[in-house]
Chains A and B, each alone.
Chain A
Amino acid sequence: MSANETALVNVTGEPLLINPNKTFADVNAEVAAPIERKPGRLWWIFFTISVLLTLQFAAEITYQIIKGVGIWGLNHPVGWAVDITSFVFWIGIGHAGTLISAILHLFRQRWRTAINRSAEAMTIFAVMTAGLFPLIHTGRPWFAYWLVPYPNWRYLWVNFRSPLVWDVFAVSTYMTISICFWYTGLIPDFASLRDRSTGWRRGIYGVLSLGWRGSERHWQHYERAYMMLAGLSTPLVLSVHSIVSFDFATSILPGWHTTIFPPYFVAGAIFSGFAMVVTLLVILRKVFKMEEYITMHHLENMNKIILVTGMMVGYAYATEFFIALYSGNPFERFVFLNRAGGPFAWSYWIMVSCNVISPQVFWFKRFRRSLVVMFIVSLLVNVGMWFERFTIIVTSLHRDFLPTNWSYYKPTIFDFSVIIGSFGFFFMWFLLFCRFFPTISMAEVKQVLWNSKKAAGKVPATKAEKIHA
């Protein structure tokens, strides 16, 4: 670990969020640097790969629309598999962003300032990716807009009792509010970029900043509005994954019909989301040399959250298993025994080992602060959380009420194509974001910086003082 990664502490020994020796100008300069210089080779490599993956994804979708969704391994009774699994997975990923920016903001967790911008971006791109799956999983995607209640000559609305319609509202609301929240945060930084750039960049950032001047009168409204959006996003993020879990919880299928799902899904979402944030930041701070802003302190905090939520998820697994056995409902009982011991046991145990066991290493400070360990664990957690949804969906479906229907699910190359495709799609957007948007909220960091300076007793002698001396 380099010197600037060793935590700086204030007089009372609490770690400083940022090196107090920096000046306000440094912040602008360093945050804007990646945007102003040409992208490096690493960026181009990542970007090219992402674009290629996205293209094959597009090809898969085209072919699927021509031939039919049957090119996937789905069957009767397994009507959903990779499609909805990935949908829930990506929605879950999104949640960490909102949690970091909204909830931590409400709880005055200052350390969020370095990471909330990229976390919010991650939210938006994750939700975009997630949104693709409900569209393409339908048999007739060109009619998917029928899920939206719009006036039409059939005088036919939608079924507001269907969790899929709830999803439509939840996800679109989530998307909209996340964008509002994100953009609000960006306005002052666009202004900063405008004021340090020239030419067409200045024009673009000028427009994006909406002509922000940093007037105190504006800051006054701005801060309250930002607080309000944070206040709205917090219950929203909880509701969204609860509603996603309703897709299963409100059905009658054993293994789906479970009251524990809403909290269980939310915890899982935060869990996977934070893992994804860690994955991204470990790369980002390296590629864009942000070590001084995204410090080990930030990463450690997130690893702590991963440990906590990981154990919540583990608790949920244990609870639903116990209740299934305890309930005496033969269908429930069978489903869970079938999960752990049936033909899909492998996926169940991948889930358990990745989500419950692997985060346990974060009990140790050494591992919490080791880039390598946290990177591996965060990847494992993401794998595990994907398989959690897969386990819930497929193992419940493939052996349900009537044994005659029992079957197995075998994915085709197209199932794999959509999985990797979705990752390509997500990273494509994220890389573009890193390239053109400030990945760290300059305005907020300056606040933190000033506090650090004070805490470290490093308020510099000002020019004014010299004059008056």
Chain B
Amino acid sequence: MLELPFLRPKPMRGILALYDNPDEILTAAALVTEHGFRNVDAYTPYPVHGLSEALGIRKSWVPYVTLVMGLTGAALGLTFEIWTSAIDWPINVGGKPMVSLPAFIPITFESGVLIGGTMTLAALLVACGLPNWQAPILDRDLTNDRFGLFIPETGPAWNEDRAIQFLRSTRAVDVRVIRG
């Protein structure tokens, strides 16, 4: 592949198990936490429902950003309209009052949507730490037809063989040791 500095992967250590359909990774995920593995992550070509619950991943906080930013945007929009039309330079336009509220509503709404929407995307990127071109690609098929369960190497108490044992016991089609 093209060798670009920001594409050079950062090392990652742990055990990766590959499955070839969603049901099996779900069953495996259900077991992995019982076996006391922490920070387990899954890599799937599409969002497999139930996986995050199984791995105990918290619900996303992105929607709150949307709500707050949407309201803020609307408020800013209306304030700006009133300030420019009635305070900064009031001009008699067609005999309408300086603050023609009905006429200001459309832009109030649009600015709400604009800020809310763009901030939602921003929040998504922040939440996922994207862009991040340096995360290593554990397996090229993880975006294709493979479903991967990854147990990261965590702390001194880490027992690699136990992890491998466990994953083998699931219906993994392949179990790999990832080193850098």
Contacts and interface: CB of A to CB of B under 8 A. Distances in A.
Verify whether A and B have any Cβ pair under 8 Å.
yes
Interface of A: 23-25, 28, 149, 155-161, 165-166, 169-170, 172-173, 176-177, 180-181, 183-184, 187-188, 191-192, 194-196, 198-200, 202-203, 206-207, 210-225, 227-229, 231-233, 235-236, 239, 243, 246, 442-444, 446-447, 450, 459-460, 462-465, 467-468
Contact of B2 (A24, A156, A203): A203
A235 to B, nearest CB: 7
Nearest to B139: A195
The secondary structure that dominates the A interface is: helix
18 contacts: A25-B144, A157-B88, A173-B114, A176-B117, A195-B143, A195-B144, A202-B2, A206-B1, A214-B142, A218-B130, A219-B52, A220-B59, A222-B128, A225-B120, A229-B117, A442-B45, A450-B21, A463-B173
A224 B67 CA distance: 13
Interface string B1-38: 11010010000000000011111100000000000000
Contacts of B180: none
B151 interface: no
A464 B43 contact: no
A123 to B, nearest CB: 14
A239 B110 contact: yes
Contacts of B120: 180, 225, 228-229, 232
Given A155-B88, A180-B117, 10 more contacts: A24-B145, A161-B94, A177-B114, A184-B124, A188-B46, A206-B2, A207-B7, A217-B41, A443-B45, A468-B171
Of A181, A192, A214, A239, which is in contact with the most chain B CB atoms at under 10 Å from its CB?
Answer: A214
Contacts of A227: 63
Given A243-B106, A459-B23, A225 B60 contact: yes
Nearest to B128: A218
A468 B58 CA distance: 34
Given A169-B111, A214-B45, A228-B120, A206 B133 contact: yes
Nearest to B20: A462
Nearest to B78: A160
Contacts of A246: 106
B130 A188 contact: no
Given A180-B118, A195-B143, A236-B113, A160 B45 contact: no
B113 A216 contact: no
Interface in B85-131: 85, 88-89, 93-94, 96, 100, 103-104, 106-107, 109-111, 113-114, 116-118, 120-121, 123-125, 127-128, 130-131
B110 A161 contact: no
A169 to B, nearest CB: 4
A23 B21 CA distance: 10
Interface residues of B, number: 75
B60 A232 contact: no
Contacts of A188: 45-46, 143
Q: Which A-B residue pairs are the 3 nearest by beta carbons? A: A464-B171, A24-B145, A203-B2
A149 B85 CA distance: 11
Contacts, number: 235
Contact of A220 (B52, B104, B132, B173): B52
Nearest to A204: B2
A249 to B, nearest CB: 12
A55 to B, nearest CB: 33
B127 A25 contact: no
Contacts of A215: 41-43, 128
B43 A216 contact: yes
A211 B171 CA distance: 28
Of B7, B21, B93, B133, which is in contact with the most chain A CB atoms at under 10 Å from its CB?
Answer: B21
Contacts of A159: 93
B163 to A, nearest CB: 18
Contacts of B41: 215-217
A211 B143 contact: no
Contact of A192 (B100, B104, B144): B144
Nearest to A243: B106
A213 B137 contact: yes
Contacts of B84: 149, 157-158, 160
B134 interface: yes
A195 B118 CA distance: 28
A166 B45 CA distance: 41
A183 B125 CA distance: 12
Contacts of B63: 224, 227-228
B143 A191 contact: yes
Of B104, B110, B114, which is in contact with the most chain A CB atoms at under 10 Å from its CB?
Answer: B110
A169 B93 CA distance: 20
Given A169-B106, A207-B133, A216-B43, A202 B144 contact: no
Given A223-B47, A225-B124, A465-B171, A214 B66 contact: no
